[in-house]
Amino acid sequence: MCMEKTPWEKAVEFHGHVCPGLAIGYKVAEIALSNLQESRADDEEMIAIVENDACGIDAIMVMTGCTLGKGNLILKDTGKQVYTFGGRNSKKAIRVSVNGNILQGNPEMRELHQLVMEGKASPAEKDEYNKLRQQKMDDILNMPGEQFATIKEVDFAVPGKARLFSSVECACCGEYAMEPRTRNQNGKVVCLDCFDDYPRTIKNNQERI
Q: Are residues 128 and 173 in the same domain?
A: no
Residues of the domain holding 100: 7-153
- 203 or 73, which is more confident: 73
Q: Are residues 133 and 199 in the same domain?
A: no
pLDDT of residue 201: 54
Residue 159: inside a domain: no
- The alpha carbon torsion through 125, 129, 131, 135 (nearest 10 deg) reads 160
Q: Are residues 21 and 51 in the same domain?
A: yes
Mean pLDDT estimate for the chain: 89
Q: Are residues 175 and 125 in the same domain?
A: no
Q: What is the mean pLDDT of residues 149-158?
A: 89
pLDDT of residue 206: 46
Distance CA 142, CA 144 (A): 7
Q: Are residues 142 and 60 in the same domain?
A: yes
- Say if CB 50 and CB 59 are below 8 A apart: no
pLDDT, one tens digit per residue, over 85-136 is: 999 888 899 999 999 888 777 888 889 889 999 999 999 999 999 999 999 9
- 3 or 16, which is more confident: 16
Residue 17: inside a domain: yes
Tell me the CATH number at 89.
Answer: 3.30.1330.130
pLDDT, one tens digit per residue, over 165-209 is: 889 999 999 999 989 889 998 999 999 999 987 665 555 544 433
- The number of domains in the chain is 2
pLDDT of residue 174: 92
Domain boundary among the residues 153, 181, 196 is at: 153
pTM for this structure? Answer: 0.80
pLDDT of residue 209: 33
